[in-house]
Amino acid sequence: MTLPVFPSLRITPSALIPRGAFAEAQAAFLKPNPELIERLSSLLRAKNAGIVAHFYMDPELQGVLSASDWPHIHVSDSLAMADRAIAMAEQGVRTIAVLGVDFMSENVRAMLDASGHSDVAVYRVSAEPIGCSLAESAEAAAYGAYLTEASKTPHSLHVVYINTSLVTKAKAHALVPTITCTSSNVVQTVLQAAAQIPDVHIWFGPDTYMGDNLAHMFASLAEMPDERIRELHPAHDQASIRALLPRFRYFEQGTCIVHHMFGAEVVELVREHYSDVFVTAHLEVPGEMFALGLEAQRKGRGVVGSTSNILAFVLGKVDEAIARGEASNLRFILGTEAGMITPIVRQVQEQLRDYASEGGPEISAEIVFPVAPEAVMQDEASGLGIVPGVAGGEGCSTAGGCATCPYMKMNSLHSLIALLERVDADEKSTLVPFEPRKYAQEIRGRTVAELGGEPILHMRGFQRSGQLPDALVDDVLGRVQMGSVAKP
């Protein structure tokens, strides 16, 4: 049996057609057991519980979540998880299970508290820590040294990726005025800061690849005509972007182990074998994959951005094909964690079914998983390629192609059901290990939750108004001048 260069999953109105064992595993879980669906739905109703989950959950778990008819289930990127948790609380939900890594449950807890819903219980599904290589890099001494340098530089603003712990945000904000960002709003955050704060120095972290990609993006933007630049941000032109470039810094020692693996060899294989395919790339991927995605984006054949941007791009291209009314198979390189396949399949298949019911020519979409070939092991007995998964050190390599996050996969359907069964049945004290991490220490006379939540609230203020909050701007302009640099 000859395997394709990369495994792929073709989506039609009525079927999923996998090529390669990795894709077969993804497809199998997208048809969940009806008994599991009913068991989970019944538990959620009985416990009046909601679920907020990240796109990177494994397909088995996402398959059951997406098939449930319980209205208080939401799968999204990390920013929207907290928003939907607040909405669920406002609708009367009393318990929320967070499926993700620990900083996500911390953010949900902090935002619920800030919104007046401290009485709503928040639980993780593991009593053990659910880490994140990127978040942990911001807790290292090197990041502290990076922020100390920023604190000594006038008019400094720390733009911290939301994928960090509350204590990271709190300690950072104690040293340098801090605002959080996501991969979908980071460009606008930086540009708005540069437009609103004279001579601002931007210190981005901890994601090294995203920082390097942003630096290259801004350098490229500086070469564009003023009219194009103003389409992105009306207050900027070539001169202002060029002035920003030497004042944009990024941390150089922080990586996500998943996106780290989309490296040079994978990109070469994409260029050689998939020249006619749409390319999607998360803003966190290494430079080679970023450059490939940016090149495709400029040609209208790709997107670089957040998980939500990637999903929107795929759906948009399917809509365009439907509007043309021509038989076709759209192919997409999935340059992010493989868990994204579940929302893509669900929403693309819905589009295609609606179109097929009108009697048009067949349209399908094929998602290609760029897994490094040396990470695909051959089972001699069956002839099938095997990708066992990164938790055992397999499924990715230093040359590229890691498909799944081992931390996210600590969230399982079994552990979710086991947790829900204990809610209101066991003593509440026995569920304390499942609560988001609590921080007893105070920083600058404030709790970690209060101080660490402030950069998130600054981001929310920016999203609502399009302007950085006055309190943040005043902090940037006054912190060093007043001699009020603080130690965490």
Q: Looking at the domain assignment, is residue 176 inside a domain?
A: yes
In the predicted structure, residue 383 carries a pLDDT above the cut 60: no
Output 213 or 303, whichever has higher pLDDT: 303
The mean per-residue pLDDT over the stretch 323-342 comes to: 85
Q: Looking at the domain assignment, is residue 118 inside a domain?
A: yes
Say whether both 121 and 138 belong to one domain: no
Which of 124-128, 134-138, 416-420 has the weakest average pLDDT?
A: 134-138
Structure confidence at residue 289 as a pLDDT band (50, 70, 90): confident
Say whether both 39 and 106 belong to one domain: yes
Q: Looking at the domain assignment, is residue 179 inside a domain?
A: yes
Say whether both 200 and 87 belong to one domain: no
> What are the backbone dihedrals phi and psi of residue 476, each rounded to the nearest 5 degrees, phi first?
-60, -45
Rg (CA), the chain: 23
pLDDT of residue 285: 65
In the predicted structure, residue 372 carries a pLDDT above the cut 90: no
Q: What is the CATH number of the domain that holds 112?
A: 3.40.50.10800
In the predicted structure, residue 412 carries a pLDDT above the cut 90: no
Which of 132-141, 149-158, 431-440 has the weakest average pLDDT?
A: 132-141
pLDDT of residue 263: 56
Q: Looking at the domain assignment, is residue 483 inside a domain?
A: no
Considering 46-55, 107-116, 214-223, the range whose residues carry the highest mean pLDDT is 46-55
Q: Is the dihedral of CA 124, 126, 128, 129 positive or negative?
A: negative
The angle formed by the CA atoms of residues 120, 455 and 306, to the nearest 5 degrees, is 85
Domain count, the chain: 3
Q: Looking at the domain assignment, is residue 486 inside a domain?
A: no
What's the pTM value of the predicted model, to 2 decimals? 0.68
Q: Cβ neighbours of residue 314 under 8 Å, at least 6 residues apart?
A: 278, 280, 332, 344, 348, 365, 367
In the predicted structure, residue 384 carries a pLDDT above the cut 80: no
**Residue 299 CB-density burial (10 A; 0-12 exposed, 13-18 middle, 19+ buried):** exposed
In the predicted structure, residue 233 carries a pLDDT above the cut 90: yes
Output 377 or 71, whichever has higher pLDDT: 71
Say whether both 52 and 16 belong to one domain: no
Nearest-CA neighbor of 122 among 132, 112, 114, 131? Answer: 112
In the predicted structure, residue 50 carries a pLDDT above the cut 90: yes
Q: How far is CA 302 from each of CA 202, 309, 349, rounded to the nearest angstrom?
A: 28, 11, 20
Output 409 or 120, whichever has higher pLDDT: 120
The mean per-residue pLDDT over the stretch 235-248 comes to: 97
Say whether both 473 and 348 belong to one domain: no
pLDDT of residue 239: 96
In the predicted structure, residue 157 carries a pLDDT above the cut 50: yes
Structure confidence at residue 254 as a pLDDT band (50, 70, 90): low
Output 37 or 486, whichever has higher pLDDT: 37
> What are the backbone dihedrals phi and psi of residue 207, each rounded to the nearest 5 degrees, phi first?
-75, 110
Q: Quote the mean pLDDT of the chain.
A: 83
Output 299 or 388, whichever has higher pLDDT: 299
Say whether both 154 and 261 belong to one domain: no
Say whether both 23 and 58 belong to one domain: no
Say whether both 16 and 40 belong to one domain: no
Say whether both 177 and 50 belong to one domain: no
**Spatial distance between the Cα atoms of 175 and 50, rounded to a whole number of angstroms:** 36
Q: Looking at the domain assignment, is residue 191 inside a domain?
A: yes
Which of 112-116, 118-122, 337-341 has the weakest average pLDDT?
A: 337-341
Q: Are 396 and 375 in contact (CB under 8 A)?
A: yes
In the predicted structure, residue 387 carries a pLDDT above the cut 70: no
Q: Looking at the domain assignment, is residue 182 inside a domain?
A: yes
Say whether both 163 and 209 belong to one domain: yes
Say whether both 449 and 316 belong to one domain: no
In the predicted structure, residue 399 carries a pLDDT above the cut 50: no
Question: Which residue in the block uniquely carries the two structure tokens 């911390």?
Answer: 106
Structure confidence at residue 245 as a pLDDT band (50, 70, 90): very high
Output 395 or 370, whichever has higher pLDDT: 370
**Spatial distance between the Cα atoms of 448 and 451, rounded to a whole number of angstroms:** 5
In the predicted structure, residue 357 carries a pLDDT above the cut 50: yes
Considering 333-347, 381-395, 427-441, 461-475, the range whose residues carry the highest mean pLDDT is 461-475
**Spatial distance between the Cα atoms of 304 and 421, rounded to a whole number of angstroms:** 41
Cis peptide before 206 (omega within 30 of 0): yes
In the predicted structure, residue 407 carries a pLDDT above the cut 70: no
Q: Looking at the domain assignment, is residue 2 inside a domain?
A: no
pLDDT of residue 249: 95
Range of the domain at 107: 33-130+410-434
DSSP H/E element including 28? helix 21-29
pLDDT of residue 304: 85
pLDDT of residue 413: 87
DSSP H/E element including 443? strand 442-443
Helix ranges (DSSP H) in 299-441: 307-324, 341-356, 413-422
pLDDT of residue 134: 67
The mean per-residue pLDDT over the stretch 160-173 comes to: 88
Say whether both 218 and 117 belong to one domain: no
In the predicted structure, residue 484 carries a pLDDT above the cut 70: no
In the predicted structure, residue 227 carries a pLDDT above the cut 60: yes
